Amino acid sequence: MRPDTPATPAENDHADHVAEAERLERTASLYPEDSEPLLLQAAAHYELAEARDRATGLYDGLLSSEGLHNGSLVRALKAANLWEYGHEAEARAIITGLRATAPQDPAPWVIIAESLEAHDELEQAHETFTEALTLLVSEAERDSGEVPYARHPLVLGRHRVRRLLGADHDVWDALADRVNRASVSLDELHDPKRLWALGSDNPADLQAEITRLRAELGSYREALSRPFPVAVLHWSSTEYAELIAAYPALSSEYPSYEAHLASIEGALRELAASGTRNLGIVTGTVPSYEAFAASEASSPDDATLLPQYATTLAARGRAVPWPPEAGAACWCGSGSAYGECHGAPGAGA
């Protein structure tokens, strides 16, 4: 997700973005295991500073590196960036290749579809959104409306493009209406005729447009507000034993390994029930935790450091989404399916 920015940034804003990008690059050199998310953030800041060649350089460096976690996302970001500064043919080639590989992550699909849309390639944008939804959302999810939150931008983006094309509603548009969380209907938010209201001298027209824009901006800022998940800290059995042996004071926080696992599931279920979205789990290691404590000039046996450590790991891109998808292995590492392990009813009690 790219950082938000004003439509016409001031010159000092460009300098601020360059400074932040360079800081992130330095941080990535200190933490090579987390360099991918850090360099992606740096590239986003370079784009916001209109230093698009430097952003492309970071994307190229990531694509040539070993152990790249999400190559499809990097290629999609590179394509969108290239198109913005005149390299349309190369961008189109990357987009065509990405569509052929059919990535399972919704983010690359959203980026390339929105790039096509931004350059008035509406038919191609519509095809791209539709391909992604057909691949990533099952009929059962579509019919029930229970679509994972990460796929909502695909549903909403397709609806927006279809309104621009003047297409009639279909089953995917009905799903978009169901997942829309704005106070204004999607047909209003995505109505191409809204532009005409901006030239009206009728105060009622302008007030209605302000209301719609506020609703749209609220939804957009909500999507940007969580660049990483609300994460709960997990220790593997080996790391847990090492942690308690080294820092017995933490046994008050972790009375037993079984209680530790149950508390993770219970906490996540409570957060989900309260309406919190974008939940995740980060797995700690004792050396990493000790290094974090040292950076905070504190002792590892201070239990108040644990949630800060979890947040730091999540910010560095180490979180995995919760709950696991249907049929996936449980997050605890048991090897059993989540639904038969901690995903079973009552497991988090």
**Cα Rg of the chain (Å, integer):** 23
Question: Is residue 119's pLDDT more than 70?
Answer: yes
Predicted confidence at residue 228, as pLDDT, reads 56
CB-CB contact of 171 with 142 (8 Å)? yes
Q: Which of 117-131, 135-149, 226-240, 309-323 has the highest mean pLDDT?
A: 117-131
Mean pLDDT, residues 191-205: 63
- In angstroms, what CA-CA distances link 329 with 19, 39, 103, 340, 341? 41, 30, 20, 9, 9
Question: Is residue 196's pLDDT more than 70?
Answer: no
Predicted confidence at residue 69, as pLDDT, reads 87
pLDDT digits 0-9 by tens, 158-171? 999 998 888 999 99
Predicted confidence at residue 248, as pLDDT, reads 94
Predicted confidence at residue 2, as pLDDT, reads 42
Predicted confidence at residue 225, as pLDDT, reads 45
User: Which residue did the predictor score with more confidence, 215 or 165?
Assistant: 165
Question: Is residue 223's pLDDT more than 80?
Answer: no
pLDDT digits 0-9 by tens, 250-300? 999 999 999 999 999 999 999 888 888 788 999 999 988 988 888 788 899
Question: Is residue 217's pLDDT more than 90?
Answer: no
Predicted confidence at residue 158, as pLDDT, reads 95
User: Which residue did the predictor score with more confidence, 265 or 216?
Assistant: 265
AA letter at 62 = L
**pLDDT class for 226, splitting at 50, 70, 90?**
very low
Mean pLDDT, residues 174-202: 74
User: Which residue did the predictor score with more confidence, 10 or 243?
Assistant: 243
Predicted confidence at residue 306, as pLDDT, reads 94
Question: Is residue 216's pLDDT more than 80?
Answer: no
**pLDDT class for 11, splitting at 50, 70, 90?**
low
Among residues 301, 187, 320, the alpha carbon closest in space to that of 250 is found at 301
Mean pLDDT, residues 63-84: 93
Question: Is residue 224's pLDDT more than 80?
Answer: no
Q: How far apart are the first and last CA of the chain?
A: 35
What is the percentage of the chain residues whose pLDDT exceeds 90? 52
Predicted confidence at residue 3, as pLDDT, reads 41
- Within 10 angstroms of residue 67's Cβ, the number of other Cβ atoms is 8
Q: What is the 3-state secondary structure (H, E, C) of the chain?
A: CCCCCCCCCCHHHHHHHHHHHHHHHHHHHHCHHHHHHHHHHHHHHHHHCCCHHHHHHHHHHHHCCCCCCCHHHHHHHHHHHHHHCCCHHHHHHHHHHHHHHCCCCHHHHHHHHHHHHHCCCHHHHHHHHHHHHHHHCCHHHHHHCCCCHHHHHHHHHHHHHHHHHCCCCCHHHHHHHHHCCCCCCHHHHCCCCHHHHCCCCCHHHHHHHHHHHHHHHHHHHHHHCCCCCEEEEEECHHHHHHHHHHCHHHHHCCCCHHHHHHHHHHHHHHHHHCCCCCEEEEEECHHHHHHHHHHCCCCCCCCCHHHHHHHHHHHCCCCEECCCCCCCECCCCCCCEHHHCCCCCCCCC
Cross-strand pairs, 234: 283
User: Which residue did the predictor score with more confidence, 214 or 224?
Assistant: 214
pLDDT-wise least confident of 2-11, 116-125, 126-135: 2-11
Task: For the full predicted model, state whether its pTM sits above 0.85.
Answer: no
CB-CB contact of 112 with 95 (8 Å)? yes
156 is written with which tokens? 């909403």
Question: Is residue 313's pLDDT more than 50?
Answer: yes
Predicted confidence at residue 212, as pLDDT, reads 65
Average model confidence (pLDDT) for the chain? 85
Mention every residue, 6+ apart, whose C-beta is less than 8 A from residue 283. 233, 234, 235, 236, 239, 318
What is the percentage of the chain residues whose pLDDT exceeds 70? 86
7 is written with which tokens? 């439509």
Question: Is residue 336's pLDDT more than 80?
Answer: yes
What is the side-by-side order of every strand in the sheet holding 230-235?
Answer: 230-235, 279-284, 320-321
d(CA 146, CA 254): 35
Predicted confidence at residue 199, as pLDDT, reads 57
Burial of 209 (0-12, 13-18, 19+ CB in 10 A): middle
